[in-house]
């Protein structure tokens, strides 16, 4: 599985968009990009995933560059409840291979 690089921490003002970058320069053609978040002491929560195209759901948008070497998770209107550690993970999506490799993520602080 490809490794990912994320900034250690970021700040965002409440109500503004939070843009969380992720570098995955060694990603291969059949590896998906996943984003999860972990609010203090809770289990990780799935946010969104994508392969090539940009994706959007009720929680966030995922922008993947054309060469797929990086991506950005966008929380369009951050709230205090979005303060969490955000993990970017790439994983090969085939058969029984389910080994997500987790890094340390980005600690996002949403400030009032």
**Where along the sequence are the contacts to other proteins (CB under 8 A)?**
32, 34, 36, 41-47, 49, 87, 93, 96, 98-105
Q: Which is nearer to other proteins, 79 or 93 (CB)?
A: 93
Task: For the CB of residue 75, give the shortest distance to other proteins in the complex, in Å.
Answer: 17
Q: Which is nearer to other proteins, 5 or 111 (CB)?
A: 5
Could you list the beta-strand ranges (E) of 24-112: 31-38, 45-50, 55-56, 61-64, 70-75, 84-92, 106-111
Of the candidates 40, 50, 41, 43, the residue with the CA atom closest to the CA atom of residue 89: 50
Collapsed DSSP state (helix, strand, coil) of residue 101: coil
- Whole-angstrom Cα distance, residue 32 to residue 29? 8
Nearer to other proteins, 42 or 53 (CB): 42
Least spacing, CB of residue 36 vs other proteins, in Å = 7
The phi, psi pair for 25, rounded to 5°, reads -65, -20
Q: How far is the CB of 66 from other proteins (least distance, A)?
A: 22
| Closest separation in Å from C-beta 110 to other proteins | 22
């Amino acid at each position: 599985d490809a490794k990912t690089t994320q900034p250690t921490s970021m700040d965002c003002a409440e109500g503004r968009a939070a843009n969380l970058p992720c570098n995955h320069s060694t990603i291969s053609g059949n590896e998906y990009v996943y984003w999860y978040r972990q609010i203090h002491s809770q289990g990780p929560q799935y946010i969104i995933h994508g392969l090539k195209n940009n994706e959007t759901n009720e929680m966030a948008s995922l922008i993947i560059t054309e060469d797929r070497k990086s991506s950005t998770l966008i929380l369009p209107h951050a709230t205090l409840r979005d303060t969490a550690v955000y993990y970017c993970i790439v994983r090969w999506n085939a058969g029984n291979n389910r080994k997500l490799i987790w890094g340390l993520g980005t600690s996002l602080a949403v400030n009032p």
